[in-house]
Amino acid sequence: MKIVSLNTWAGKAGKDKLLAFFESHREIDIFCLQEIWSGPIKELKGMTGGNSLEKHSLRMEYGLQEISQVLKDHRAYLRPHLFTFGLLMLVKKSIEVLEEGEIFAHKERGYIPEGDVGFHARNVQYVKIATEKGNRTIMNFHGLWNGKGKGDSEERILQSEKIVKLIKQQENPLVLCGDFNLSPETESIKMLEKSGLRNLIKEWGVTSTRTSLYTRQEKFADYVFTSEGIDVRTFKVLPDEVSDHSPLYLDFS
């Protein structure tokens, strides 16, 4: 089973490059994507946004549709944080999806932030799939941005508590991946490790999950965690510069 997790940066590194990446990786079983649009949001016009939600000149406003057109052998599951913006999982049609859903880890569905639109709600998307060795759950996440770096905060601790609660509810092995907006040494990350998950970024000695398009000092944001029962065959950071985030690749059996 092959998974790629990628914060697409809404295609701002170049739509053609991003679509070419998906074209060349059509063998991937499940894509876990962050920063995906399925249409313009008129309500955001004129709003301030630290993560450039409101700056639409470069973004792929129909990313869901354009990526799905390339990955025709995959089913698309969109779970927005805010209006038409949020998380997308693409699962090969040959894989049986038993359940698909989400929980909100920060605020609630429909929450409209005051001031900076970047403070929008955050959810965890999941699919439960059937495999030859039993059911597995794959979780896709994009963590809270607060404009103050990637350290701990009360809201981020609460966010991790809600994720740990979701993890403990699972009856089968799982993979949790995405852009957590957190540094490796934070208590928010340690809470996930203490829940019994393997932090593959730490185990593989990864030194950065950002591409050269990201010019700030923090070099970590993206993670892949696995539970007991996930037999990791290969894990790596892919070199493709199709976003300011690097794609993370996991192959497990």
Q: Domain of 169?
A: 2-252
Q: Is the pLDDT of residue 43 over 80?
A: no
pLDDT score of 244: 97
Is 109 within 8 Å of 80 (Cβ atoms)?
no
* Res 116: pLDDT: 82
Burial environment of residue 24 by CB neighbours within 10 A (0 to 12, 13 to 18, 19 or more) = exposed
**Residue 213 pLDDT more than 80?**
yes
Q: Give residue 15's pLDDT band: very low, low, confident or very high (50, 70, 90).
A: very high
With a CB cutoff of 8 Å and minimum separation 6, the contacts of 153 are 144, 146
% pLDDT > 90, the chain = 87
Q: How far apart are CA 143 and CA 160, in angstroms?
A: 9
Average pLDDT over residues 115-124: 91
pLDDT digits (tens, 9 = 90+) for 197-212: 999 999 999 999 999 9
Q: What is the DSSP letter of 144?
A: P
Count how many domains the chain has.
1
pTM (2 decimals)? 0.95
pLDDT for residue 54 is more than 60: no
The answer to whether the Cα torsion of 51, 56, 59, 64 is positive or negative is: positive
Q: Given a cut of 80, is residue 5 above it in pLDDT?
A: yes
SS3 187: helix
User: What gap in Å lies between CA 123 and CA 144, rounded to an integer?
Assistant: 9
Provide DSSP, 70-136.
Answer: H-TTEEEEEEEEETTEEEEEEEETTSPEEEEEEEEEES-TT---SS-GGG--EEEEEEEEEETTEEE
Q: Where are the extended beta strands (E) located within the chain?
A: 2-7, 30-37, 74-82, 85-92, 97-106, 122-131, 134-142, 174-179, 198-199, 222-226, 232-237, 248-252
**What mean pLDDT is reported for the chain?**
94
Band of the pLDDT at 42, cuts 50, 70, 90?
A: confident
Q: How many helices (H) and strands (E) does the chain have?
A: 5, 12
Tokens coding 253: 């059996």
Residue 194 has pLDDT above 60, yes or no: yes
Here the CATH number for the domain that contains residue 192 is: 3.60.10.10
Which pLDDT tens digit goes with each residue over 130-174? 999 999 999 999 999 998 999 999 999 999 999 999 999 999 999
**Percent of the chain residues topping a pLDDT of 70:** 94
**Average pLDDT for 78-86:** 95
Report whether pLDDT(55) > 80: no
Q: How many residues does the chain have?
A: 253
Q: pLDDT tens, 216-230?
A: 999 999 999 999 999
Q: How confident is the model at residue 21 (pLDDT cuts 50, 70, 90)?
A: very high
